[in-house]
Structures are given as C-alpha cells and as structure tokens.
Structure 1
Amino acid sequence: MGLSEGLLDPNKKAIVVDDCCNMIETQLASKSGVSGIALKAAFAALKGVKPGYIPYIVEQLLPPCFNAIDPIWSEGTQKGDPVAHLIASRSLTADALLSVTDTRVKSSTRSIVRGTYDKFRGSAKKHIEEAIPDFAKVIENYTKA
C-alpha cells in the first residue's frame, strides 16, 4: 500500500489535511525578514481566494504529492527509517513535491494563484526543503503500525 492509500483513507484524510495545514502555518510563522513578510502576504492573498481555499488545495495536492514521494519513503522504509531518509533526501523530496505543484499551477484558472506561485517558485525549493522534517513527521504520525 502506497502513502496515498494509507494516509488518505476516509478515517484519516481530514486529520492529515488539518495537520498539513497547521504545519504550513507553523512554517510560515517561522519565516522572518523581507522574504518572510512577502511569503506571509502571498499566503494571505491565497487564503482570500475563497473561504477554505488552503485546506481544499492541500486536500487536492496530497494524493499526487504522496504518490511522488512514495518511492523515497519506501526506500527509507527498507533502510529502516523512512523519516530520516526523507529528511536526508530533502532535495530529491522537494523536487518531487515541486513537480506536483508545477503541474497543478499550469492548469490553474486563477491568475492570483499562478501569479503568486510564479513569483515565489524560484525560492520554493529552499522553503520546501526546510519543511521536509515537519512534513516527514506528519506522515510518520499516520503510518505507524
């Protein structure tokens, strides 16, 4: 069973989405300086698209994101510690996640979404790599036997 099937079963899905949204909020809160202010403003703009937009997008993105990182997670499971492996492979993990968001944004009809994404895409990998330890822990919470 892949990450997507295991983490998004009906009994876990809403909790996983909520935990991922909380993780994103925590990551944003930790950002400082001019780039932190810009990220927070961009996130606020995306939240303003419509009520519940961020949880909706997280719910939509999680299955393909879990599919994208499943090979990395599985390799880590075979090595005995998938969380440590995901963290050690944070560059590869970030690339896998970004391939999903890049594809999703290309099909977006909302100019604010495309414009915001395009504006921050250049620095996105760094921010995603910084979030990988927290994301790996969220995944671990729902994959423990």
Structure 2
Amino acid sequence: MLAGSAALSPPAVAWSEVHLFVSSLFAAGLPCYLKTPLMLRRDLREPSAVGAAAAAIDAFGLAVMVLLRLICYFPMAVPLVQRAFLELGTAAGWYFSLPLLVVAPAFNVASVLFFVPYVRQQVRAQLRRATHDQAAPLKLE
C-alpha cells in the first residue's frame, strides 16, 4: 500500500508505473480465487475431479505468486526507489526505500513460504486419493 503513496509525488513516478507496480502485487494472489466457485460446489477434501482442479489452481497460483512476488518485484521496485532518491531527496528516498526494499520483500517471501505447505498438502492429498482409487479393487454390489 505504501507503494501507492508514490503517486503523491508526480515528479518521481509516473502514474502508469505505480499502477503497474501495485496491480502486479495484487495480481499475484488472484489466481487462488479461481477455485472459489469450486469451493461452493463441493468439499474440496473429497476425492474428485473438482478437488484435483482446485489443487491444480493452487499450484498455478503458487507459480504466479513466486513469479510476481519473488522474481519480478525487485526489477520494478528498485527504479522507483532510485528515482525517489534522485528527484525527491534523501528523506523521501528513505521513506520509499524502507517499505519497498525491506518490508514488502519480507512480506512477499513470507506469503510464499506460508502458501507452499498448503499447496503441497492439497496436491499430495489429491495424488494420494487418485493413486488409492486406482489401486483399490472394484466392488461389485
């Protein structure tokens, strides 16, 4: 959110850059919401094609989150901070650099680290169920 405050200093940052920067951070979490309609339809812990689709969405969401929050973040944040130092001075540069280069990266890493075990559990559960279903003999009644 502090990155959005860069918009208050037009000489240092163009609006389009701020919009791209902030929207990319928010977009990193959006793929996870694709499974919401699936959650409304049935319990995703049960073995099913819907559960497998939800696990695939979680894995895709994790990949997007890693790409945007861990790989693309610094190439976008560093130029914003550099221009804040050059055009607004040292005080404003520190105002933008601490949240953008210290706090937000820590949050980005933490969000990925918290999401990895959940995705691993969901994918393993669906794979285990699929393997168990294939190995189980058919019961004829």
Q: Same fold judged by TM-score > 0.5?
A: no
Q: Normalising by the residue count of structure 2, what TM-score does the alignment of the two structures yield?
A: 0.32
Q: Which has the larger radius of gyration?
A: 2
Q: Normalising by the residue count of structure 1, what TM-score does the alignment of the two structures yield?
A: 0.31
